[in-house]
Chain A
């Protein structure tokens, strides 16, 4: 008998169940989405309270200027996202993108100062960015560089977790990885002293695109 069969067997004996037996109805509840009048403002407020740095951009050129100012000549890796192409960020000096393979992208992410991406959704009530692993949102761009900059369309800011799970009932259907990012990486493991940027980025910028 395999460990699997032993374990399932013991569970069924303990619970008095038969193999293949169905289940009682599961506890049901509704996802209640809070109505928030100004999600952009709330997102910025909550994001900032976590030591994130919010910026508003009213048009593509403002977004470009903001990102340029953050980069300030430092090296960056950008995800191949239409929004980033549109604003001209991919053409900024010092910004690398479109890598021939995963290894090249990984090495660039490990060496650069800044990772630039978008986020599929954001959550207003917790100041969270929601990223799915996909060609335009690689996992490592928001993870390896010490600074992360995300371009967020204002229209993609949701109220909160309930809203997200209503739209995306099963995240696994879309991607192998959905990550909710709520502020900069932090630790308080030494004497409970808060330190940012332990493994992930210690500085996180959200450039909210109010025009889309």
Chain B
């Protein structure tokens, strides 16, 4: 591919050249890898592989009958006194929240972590209408103050140091500079506690939408989702239409996989199963409940049975942690809120492959993501399909296609192959003391090769090619 096809090239180099950031990404993901590994080991969860296969089947069944389950959840939520609101896109979600806030005379909204609302840039829209929308997950709160987007699905602020946090808190809250994470957390707790008690509307995401119960399931460790869904008068849950599962029983499969795959926890600290507003005999809880179900590009994925499984994702983040590309370039160099392997497959499908054609190529296809995915999404397979589509759409330009046809022609002809091999070996530089090649000189310094080498070093060519070594050894025997 053309180096010019990679828009964030400079940004990626910046990330790669920042040793502090590299260490932060590496240690954070390594810790999550280690925790997951222990939690899904045979002695801790003997049924792990069966659960994965079952989770995949349940998701496939739900997605392949999605119209049925959406109508079911709609009627069940209504039966519990709540209301389902379907939204085509981000704007419709923001419109709904804005109008509701206006109609009910509410100004302050507390929000708990939700990737779906990140998708719709809800906060910007709300703020432009003089509504205050406060993120309440500690990491998300810090990001909101710093005007950044999440770095990781599960650990949104993993790129920030305690010193960054100190700066952000001092600048925005006017508090004295504090570098102890424990005290920083206390400051955030106190500030956000007031917001929880004052807010008229609480917005949460949903990890699962249980169709048969008309309920949303929210998992978290901090308690901010419980507060957002219990303290304000109105609770709005916002979820993508793919979050459905048929019944509460299925949680025995999904909850066992989600916490373990994400952070190695058998269960997160809080798992809330919420259905409708408070009932008549209940002493507290919201008086109104809305479930917003967003399409936002999801229906585009349904037609192709091979790529449909991209919608099975339960956002555990395991594929990010295990991805050698994510672990080097981090979260912010991906073009959208979803980063890592899952971002690489859903971003082009939600937005159209024309927008970020380089994305499906930013992978080594090592397969680590598919191996750890709790719902067994075959991410490499989907990446290959997308690569094919990008190429077929002509987005890669005629030069590259010609180059690869030529390459294929040479590879298919052994004589030509050894001829070109010999030529390349003849012209290749031979750095002193067996050092690796970092630069090519004329006539080999072609643009694509130079671009390739700008990221990698190449071992010097062997004195004798593999093929001729093979021949002479065979003869000697």
Contacts and interface: CB of A to CB of B under 8 A. Distances in A.
B155 interface: yes
B80 A143 contact: no
Given A165-B248, A182-B268, A140 B284 contact: yes
Contact of A190 (B165, B283, B302): B165
Contacts of B274: 176-177
B81 to A, nearest CB: 8
A176 B88 contact: no
Interface in A82-137: 102, 105-106, 110, 125-126, 128, 133-135
Nearest to A193: B181
Contacts of A192: 27-28, 31, 155, 158
B58 A27 contact: yes
A177 B230 contact: yes
Given A7-B86, A11-B299, A14-B302, A189 B230 contact: no
B246 A26 contact: yes
A172 B58 CA distance: 21
Contact of B302 (A11, A27, A133, A179): A11
A14 B256 CA distance: 31
Contact of B226 (A10, A23, A200): A200
B92 interface: yes
A198 B221 CA distance: 9
B65 A198 contact: no
Contacts of A175: 279, 282
A187 B185 contact: yes
B12 interface: no
A200 B299 contact: no
A175 B81 CA distance: 12
A1 to B, nearest CB: 10
A177 B272 contact: yes
A45 interface: no
A11 B69 CA distance: 11
Contact of A26 (B61, B229, B252): B61
27 contacts: A3-B87, A10-B295, A12-B67, A14-B302, A19-B67, A24-B64, A27-B58, A27-B61, A29-B253, A102-B283, A133-B283, A135-B281, A139-B283, A170-B212, A176-B285, A177-B273, A177-B274, A177-B278, A177-B285, A179-B273, A190-B139, A190-B157, A190-B181, A191-B24, A193-B181, A200-B222, A201-B223
Given A135-B281, A180-B270, 15 more contacts: A2-B86, A29-B253, A126-B266, A135-B282, A172-B80, A172-B248, A175-B279, A176-B279, A176-B289, A179-B273, A180-B267, A180-B273, A186-B221, A187-B185, A187-B222
Q: Which 8 A-B pairs have the closest CB atoms?
A: A200-B223, A189-B139, A172-B275, A14-B302, A199-B223, A4-B86, A172-B213, A190-B181
